[in-house]
Structure 1
């Protein structure tokens, strides 16, 4: 995507999180101000990937990323929505969706357009589906490591929490990966049909 569409949502998010940080810092709430500050710096990630890694980030990916930060850090950690039994699973479902968007961005960056037209839709599905599955596993390893070495309680439900989180990641990623691959197959068939028509008319 172009830079201009990224500026407005990023700017609004950064201003909001900066204001949240100042508000809780002045109130002396170190925990909530740290969450806000973390979100503020994470809000620069789309810009860094665009300017330095030269990735063409599309609107759904950027908006999903910012929405996930808002939902997890502000609603979840600052407003304590994690106390809701379904909130953590909902965010893991969203993270599966987000990771497929990220996989799509990397795919479009790494694979030239001419080659993408010939890539089987089944391969695209496997490639995209691997992102939420691997991302979910890495995140659970992180939570386990933090609980083991630093005494945190990220995996408050033990093995049950780990497995339900992974299932939610997988379901969210599966739905979007399947939808994306089906759409890619439709486009390939349309392109093949157009090609056959051109050959017939020539």
Structure 2
């Protein structure tokens, strides 16, 4: 897993640095903050290497970089946000599903395994939906702060965009929550094994 994180992180960091330089040369005045944010987001999985054990596996890392491709490369650099009106909402649904998937991995690793307890599937459903909704709210806050300080294109239609994105995020959480509900159905009333 470490090798995968190193390789993907370096590829994405290099790509983001190149796109940052191109944007600077084209006179994009917001490129410092956008480029810096993209480089930091590309390097985040490197932080996992400081932990000896992590609940995240290769599919989680690949999913993260898949979202970066869709958001930064296709969405921002190749202007999918402008070309396809459905792109933003779709990414909010998929992004909240991804956050819920990570939350489920953390829940299984940090709560179920050490506790060795009886667990209700509804607790998992609520936890997964809650984490997806919190993730959507944090992302919308970042968009709002970004529009107030750096750019003005993240929330183009104001409250309509914000509420549409929050509803899409909730929908993604519910979808993965339902998946977790049925996937973990056999665990109800049974003792978890570590």
State the TM-score, normalized to the length of structure 2: 0.79
Give me the CA root mean square deviation.
3.0
Q: Whole-Å Cα distance in 1 between the matches of residues 96 and 183 of structure 2?
A: 19
Task: Measure the CA separation in 2 of the matches of 1:126 and 1:25.
Answer: 44
Structure 1 counterpart SS, 2:184:
helix
1:98 aligned residue = 98
Q: Secondary structure at the match of 1:118?
A: coil
Q: For residue 42 of structure 1, give the secondary structure of its aligned residue in structure 2.
A: helix
Deviation of 1:180 after TM superposition, in Å, equals 2.2
Instruction: Tell me, yes or no, if structure 1 residue 43 matches structure 2 residue 39.
Output: no
Distance 1:190 1:137, change over 3 A: closer
- Quote the Cα distance in structure 1 between the aligned partners of 2:67 and 2:129: 19
* 3-state SS of paired residue (1:142): helix
- In 1, are the aligned partners of 2:23 and 2:31 still within 8 Å (CA)? yes
Structure 1 spans left out of the alignment, 5+ residues: 193-202
Question: Aligned pair in 2 of structure 1 residues 10, 177: CA closer, same or farther (>3 Å)?
Answer: farther
The 3-state SS of whatever aligns with 1:44 is: helix
**CA contact 2:144–2:155 (8 Å) conserved in 1:** yes
- Per the alignment, residue 138 of structure 2 pairs with 138
Alignment of 1:159 with 2:138, yes or no, is no
Q: Specify the alignment match of 1:3 in structure 2.
A: 2
Relative CO higher for 1 or 2, CA cutoff 8 Å, sep ≥ 6? Answer: 2
Aligned equivalent of 2:81: 82
Aligned-residue offset at 1:26 = 5.1
Between 129-138 and 107-116, the greater mean CA deviation after superposition: 107-116
Q: Note the residue ranges of structure 2 that are not aligned, 5 or more in a row.
A: none
151 and 47 in structure 1: CA distance in 2 versus 1, 3 angstrom threshold = closer
Report the TM-score, using the length of structure 1 for normalisation.
0.76
Count of residues in Structure 1 that have an aligned counterpart in Structure 2: 190
Instruction: Tell me by how many angstroms 1:160 deviates.
Output: 1.5
Q: What SS does structure 2 have at the residue aligned with 1:119?
A: coil
Is 1:113 the equivalent of 2:113?
yes
What are the Cα deviations for residues 17-70 of structure 1, in whole angstroms up to 9, with x where unaligned? 344334444555555576444322212211203415853322232122111122
